[in-house]
Amino acid sequence: MRTAVGQFTASPDWKDNLTACRDLTTEAVRAGADLLVLPEGVLARFTEDRHRIREVAQPLDGPFVTELARATEGEAMTVVVGVHEPSGDGRVFNTLVALRDGRLVARYRKLHLYDAFGDLESANVRPADEPPVLLEVAGTRVGLMTCYDVRFPELARLLVDAGAELLALPAAWVRGPGKERHWEVMIAARAMENTCWVAASGECGPRNTGHSMIVDPLGNVRARLTSTPGLTWTDADPKATAAARDILPVLANRRFAVSPTILAPGGPR
């Protein structure tokens, strides 16, 4: 499965961001990609007034998702990208959509909110109470995760237990001391401990690090971007997944299962 990751700097105007997503979609189609992973929360980006995220949120049948879905019409490629949608309680959901051939084929609402490093995503975003999501792309089972989710290895393991061979990880990874190192280490860790591919797309720009990458089941970086807008891709070969699971049978050797029970906010950590 040819897998691409793309990154750009989101602007406050959703129409500009739609154009950037369309352009990367067109480029990925030309590259023969089966899957394109774009960043998290691309409707708009604000450095100061985070409350405005509520104002720019759109329903999944709104103009942004509708127009980006239209850009996939007639194509077999699946585009995974993050948006914010109204949640009904005054906040929004941080939602991944998977689009293919003009249709919404899957939706994942972020489970783990970024209440860390002085940020408080939950002030404006409602955490999902729904199970993680798996979809099939070109014969490969793909699990969906968003940004801060990568810090929780049990979510990746749940997806792999459900059959995921590749994890798609849109993100807007905030800059800070050591943060780029965290990004790289955890993407590689989720790949190696689950012997699966990870396609991680990070928004770039003054607030976020970029550094989108695709890592194979043994933790090798197969494709990488730096801190500027762009697109890169590689072939996520299922034979490589099978070979990794043969020589490194961590999934078979483990002694503990992960229960898919969602804890209430403030529960055990």
19-50: per-residue pLDDT in tens? 999 999 999 999 999 999 999 999 988 766 77
- Round to whole Å and give the CA distance between 156 and 162: 10
Tell how many helices (H) and how many strands (E) occur in the chain. 7, 12
Number of domains in the chain: 1
- Round to whole Å and give the CA distance between 111 and 150: 11
Considering the domain boundaries, does residue 214 fall inside one? yes
**Token pair of 1 as six digits:** 């499965």
Annotation says 40 is catalytic: yes
Provide the pLDDT for residue 222: 98
Annotation says 147 is catalytic: yes
- Which domain covers residue 98, as residue numbers? 2-253
Could you tell me the CA-to-CA distances from 30 to 2, 4, 182, 213 in Å, in that order? 12, 11, 32, 19
- Round to whole Å and give the CA distance between 181 and 209: 10
Sign of CA dihedral 226, 159, 61, 31: positive
Task: Give the pTM.
Answer: 0.96
Residues 35, 200 contacting (CB under 8 angstroms): no
- State the catalytic residue, choosing from 110, 165, 203, 204: 110
Q: Per-residue pLDDT tens for 69-114?
A: 999 999 999 999 999 999 999 999 999 999 999 999 999 999 999 9
Annotation says 179 is catalytic: no
Considering the domain boundaries, does residue 265 fall inside one? no
Could you tell me the CATH number of the domain that includes residue 249?
Answer: 3.60.110.10
Considering the domain boundaries, does residue 232 fall inside one? yes
264 has pLDDT over 90: no
Rg, Å, the chain Cα set: 17
Considering the domain boundaries, does residue 142 fall inside one? yes
